[in-house]
Amino acid sequence: MPRGTILNEAFYSQPVTQVAEALCGMVLMRQTAGGLMSGRIVETEAYLAAGDSASHSFRGPGRKNASMFGPPGRAYVYTIHARQCFNVVTEAEHVGSAVLIRAVQPLEGLETMQLRRKMNRIQNLCRGPARLCEAFDIGREHDGHNLTTGEDLWIADLPGLPSLNVAQSPRIGVTSNHEALLRFYVADNTYVSGPRRLNQAFWNSLTGDEPAAAEQTPKTLREIGRTPRSS
């Protein structure tokens, strides 16, 4: 698979919500001793620098979240329940905003992912932030990693991939500020995590089938083609 255009610091310097949406459709790539693994990002969540009580930066910088305040385009990897979650830092250095990569659709290195996850079902390999970190062998050693170098771990814009639709909804699993519409996901994609009713709510609003509850209905729906984005 071609490396494509590696996303650079200018891309990650944009507002966090723009980056979170634009990352849907991009390709996460990881080079290991076992070969190259890649997957198309299908779900993200934005965590704001100000006024977002669910964000790790809400109470300011510290030892555990220092990378979140680093330069744009760095990885912020944290541990929860003995498992890792992978984020990309956005906006200017010292701001403290990041995008959580929640799910990817595997493209390359499937056998390696299956061995690491000890399962064969492709849809569940990277469906959820901890699962994708296990499949891609992303750990705390990647905290602060520069994603713009194209080495070890990076994100690229690959030409020729099918266009897709991106919807917006509340984030999953947060205990505060849970009403904020800061989750972006590829509509009607089986690799997306979260409740089925939440992921398919937009179809109800479009077709009139079983109207969804207001708090479950995504705010926006748009098509992403392969036109160049800020980079």
**Predicted pLDDT at 226:** 38
Interatomic CA distance for residues 39 and 108, integer angstroms: 7
5-161 classified as CATH 3.10.300.10: yes
Structure tokens at 84: 């890792």
Q: Which of 84, 97, 79, 92 is nearest to 153 (CA)?
A: 84
Provide the mean pLDDT of the chain: 87
Q: Which residues pair with 90 in a beta bridge?
A: 97
Sign of CA dihedral 100, 104, 107, 112: positive
| DSSP letter for each residue of 164-176 | EEEEEE--SS-SS
Largest CA distance in the chain: 50
Domain boundaries, the chain: 5-161
Non-local CB neighbours of 71 within 8 Å, separated by 6+ positions: 9, 89, 93
**Predicted pLDDT at 179:** 86
Interatomic CA distance for residues 30 and 26, integer angstroms: 13
Non-local CB neighbours of 43 within 8 Å, separated by 6+ positions: 24, 101, 102, 103, 183, 184, 185, 186, 191, 192, 193, 194
Per the document, the length of the chain is 231
Reported pTM: 0.86
Mean pLDDT confidence for 170-183? 90
**Predicted pLDDT at 230:** 39
Non-local CB neighbours of 48 within 8 Å, separated by 6+ positions: 16, 17, 55, 97, 182
Give pLDDT tens digits for 25-40: 999 999 998 899 999 9
